[in-house]
Chains A and B, each alone.
Chain A
Amino acid sequence: MQARSDERQQYERRQQRKGFAIAAASSLAVVVALIYFVPKTPGWQKVRASFFNGEILLSTFPSLLKAFLLDIAIFMWSLPAIAIIGLLIALCRDQRSAVMFPLRIFGVLYTDIFRGVPVILTVFLIGFGIPGLGLPRPWNSPYIWGSLALILTYSAYVAEIIRGGINSIHDSQRAAGKSLGLSNTDTMRFIVLPQALRRVVPANMNMLVALQKDVALLSFIGPVELLRQAGVHKSLLANFTPYVGAALIFLAVTVPATRYADYLLARQHRERS
């Protein structure tokens, strides 16, 4: 019995080692092919000069980093608003009594419209449109209205995620709350929401990663953030390397966030199964 199980373990270990070896070999083959063949293409010299110009990357990178601070700022002040409005809209859509029907309709319209319109259009329409009504400075600032556009779009997505979380909590939990004498509001607040919100953390992490990139859309209505700063360098130098620099900066932030979201998802999966 013991011997057979040892044999089995050894076999599995061998299989595993074989798997690693194959994976390493195939990855190596791909990397070597890329390194060897890409420079052989006829346009490589020009592409390298236009996209991977070390001199330009070094000279523009500090100003790109500085411009990225604005992305972070927009991200930071939009995030709480998105969380709060997303939750409120989700609660609107979850109204079950007949009197509250208008709220449900409002929730449906809100999520349909702001999920259905491309973010950039919302940014243009709200960022130029509302200030165009004649608001005095500083209340017509593109920072305010551009951020609002992001907040509206992202809160619509987040609302749908939270609603999904709320729906995933079994109705028996509400019934249990009622039998304990809790009001509907208290049942939602103390029983349903704490479980629902925990469940939707990984999905919301993905929205967070998406938002980190979409803050760059504000550059279309004026603010000089990372993408625009890179665009300015690109235009003056007639070289795309600053865009590669901007991509690196975005990646430095989004990759860890994406990994973390994956980790949360995997952990949740383990807990449930």
Chain B
Amino acid sequence: MKKQPIQLIKHSNTTNQTTRLALAITLAFSSLFAASHLQAETCATGKTLKDGVLTIATGNPAYFPWVMDNDPASGKGFEAAIAYEVASRMGFDKDAVAWTSASFDQSIQPGAKDFDFNLQQFSITKEREKVVDFSTPYYSAAMAVLVNKAAADSGATASIDSLKKLKWGVDANTTALQMLQENIEPDSSPLLYDDNTNVTEAMKANQIDAALFDLPTALYLGAVVLEDGVVIGQFPADRTATPDQFGLLMEDGNPLKACVDEALAAMAEDGALAEIEAQWLQETTGVPVIQ
């Protein structure tokens, strides 16, 4: 007899608690929803090219490991994953993201852009920032030296003295040339090419010994495109002189920049950025640091 009311009371208590908990969760969710909804309303709304759609550009072809199989819509690859994560934090789900392609020249030409933001390993530089806007960096790249088998066999090592003597080639549309001149100062002037494929083709033809890429690209090109290329050394990502940081490129004065930066800051804070990096970019500590 005694137990019953207590049990009853207990029961009613737990029901009460459950109800309150459920209420609290619902409240929390709804306020979260309201917040995210509010955020979408205040930040990205009305600032995209097409209402309710986020148009993102990347290169065509887009390269491994930045985008897998040249298909950014799959969300696979480091930059594809970054793009979707940024989009979702700005309130665009997967279906609300549209992809387009843009070359480097298209990206920097004056006038209206046909993308909201563009990511294809654009290095942030002061000069470029005069013409376009960059987000805060989403990746700091180590620069790596890729040599062909002939050069590796003839004893090229990860020392500046050894690297100076090599015949160099780089992609002319990148900041690699500047890095090369500032960090290595090769004895003979480098040959320049339009894209990575042509650089590796020249390495196959033994017209050049070595090329400078960001580390993930160098690892991919060495193993897959050259097959017998060797990444002999790197300038680590945390070097203080001539850092190479990638940013999302936007039209100069694009109001969306604030929203993108906010999303990236949140991603850095809760570890999503590091997680995506760990998932798509391989561990790079095995490559010797250039002395």
**Could you tell me if A142 and B191 are in contact, using CB atoms closer than 8 angstroms?**
yes
Give the segment of A30-38, A183-191, A206-214, A236-244 that binds chain B. Answer: A236-244
B132 CB to nearest A CB, Å: 6
CB-CB under 8 A from B241, the residues of chain A are none
CB-CB under 8 A from A224, the residues of chain B are 189-192
**Chain B CB within 8 A of A88 CB:** no
**Chain A CB within 8 A of B271 CB:** no
Question: When chains A and B are docked, how far (Å) is the Cα of A132 from the Cα of B189?
Answer: 21
Give the segment of A41-49, A166-174, A251-259 that binds chain B. Answer: A41-49
The answer, among A131, A220, A236, for a CB contact under 8 Å with B178, is: A236
Chain B contributes a number of interface residues (CB within 8 A of A) equal to 34
A213 CB to nearest B CB, Å: 18
Most buried by B among A49, A50, A232, A236: A236
**Chain B CB within 8 A of A95 CB:** no
Question: When chains A and B are docked, how far (Å) is the Cα of A135 from the Cα of B206?
Answer: 8
B94 CB to nearest A CB, Å: 31
**Could you tell me if B172 and A228 are in contact, using CB atoms closer than 8 angstroms?**
yes
CB-CB under 8 A from A222, the residues of chain B are 169, 191-193, 202, 207-208
**Chain A CB within 8 A of B155 CB:** no
Count class of interface residues, chain A: 20 to 34
**Could you tell me if A238 and B206 are in contact, using CB atoms closer than 8 angstroms?**
no
**Chain B CB within 8 A of A15 CB:** no
CB-CB under 8 A from A250, the residues of chain B are none
CB-CB under 8 A from B174, the residues of chain A are 235
**Could you tell me if A221 and B198 are in contact, using CB atoms closer than 8 angstroms?**
yes
**Could you tell me if B110 and A50 are in contact, using CB atoms closer than 8 angstroms?**
yes
The answer, among A141, A232, A238, for a CB contact under 8 Å with B108, is: A238
Question: When chains A and B are docked, how far (Å) is the Cα of A172 from the Cα of B189?
Answer: 58
**Chain A CB within 8 A of B136 CB:** no
CB-based nearest B residue for A240: B109
Instruction: Report if A128-B205 is in contact (Cβ < 8 Å); known contacts: A224-B191, A231-B173.
Output: yes
A-B contact count (CB 8 A): 92
**Chain A CB within 8 A of B230 CB:** no
Question: When chains A and B are docked, how far (Å) is the Cα of A43 from the Cα of B175?
Answer: 28
The answer, among A141, A228, A238, for a CB contact under 8 Å with B207, is: A141
Question: When chains A and B are docked, how far (Å) is the Cα of A23 from the Cα of B234?
Answer: 65
Question: When chains A and B are docked, how far (Å) is the Cα of A239 from the Cα of B105?
Answer: 9
**Chain B CB within 8 A of A78 CB:** no
**Chain A CB within 8 A of B111 CB:** yes
A204 CB to nearest B CB, Å: 31
**Could you tell me if A131 and B207 are in contact, using CB atoms closer than 8 angstroms?**
yes
**Could you tell me if A50 and B109 are in contact, using CB atoms closer than 8 angstroms?**
yes
**Chain A CB within 8 A of B127 CB:** yes
Question: When chains A and B are docked, how far (Å) is the Cα of A137 from the Cα of B191?
Answer: 15
CB-CB under 8 A from B238, the residues of chain A are none
**Could you tell me if B204 and A43 are in contact, using CB atoms closer than 8 angstroms?**
no
**Chain A CB within 8 A of B187 CB:** no
Question: When chains A and B are docked, how far (Å) is the Cα of A236 from the Cα of B172?
Answer: 9
Question: When chains A and B are docked, how far (Å) is the Cα of A49 from the Cα of B190?
Answer: 30
**Chain A CB within 8 A of B128 CB:** yes
CB-based nearest A residue for B128: A238
CB-CB under 8 A from B193, the residues of chain A are 220-222
A residues 125-141 near B (Cβ < 8 Å) are 128, 131-132, 134-135, 137, 140-141
Instruction: Report if A46-B111 is in contact (Cβ < 8 Å); known contacts: A128-B201, A236-B125.
Output: yes
B residues 146-184 near A (Cβ < 8 Å) are 169, 172-175, 177-178
**Could you tell me if B207 and A47 are in contact, using CB atoms closer than 8 angstroms?**
no
CB-CB under 8 A from A147, the residues of chain B are none
Question: When chains A and B are docked, how far (Å) is the Cα of A47 from the Cα of B111?
Answer: 7
CB-based nearest B residue for A46: B110
- Could you list 10 A-B pairs, sorted by A, with CB under 8 Å? A46-B252, A135-B206, A221-B207, A222-B169, A224-B191, A228-B192, A235-B175, A236-B175, A238-B125, A239-B131
Residues of A within 8 A of B (CB): 43, 46-47, 49-51, 128, 131-132, 134-135, 137, 140-142, 219-224, 228, 231-232, 234-240
> Apart from A140-B206, A238-B132, what are 14 other A-B pairs with CB-CB below 8 Å?
A50-B108, A128-B204, A134-B206, A137-B206, A222-B192, A223-B191, A224-B189, A224-B192, A228-B172, A234-B105, A234-B108, A237-B127, A238-B131, A240-B108
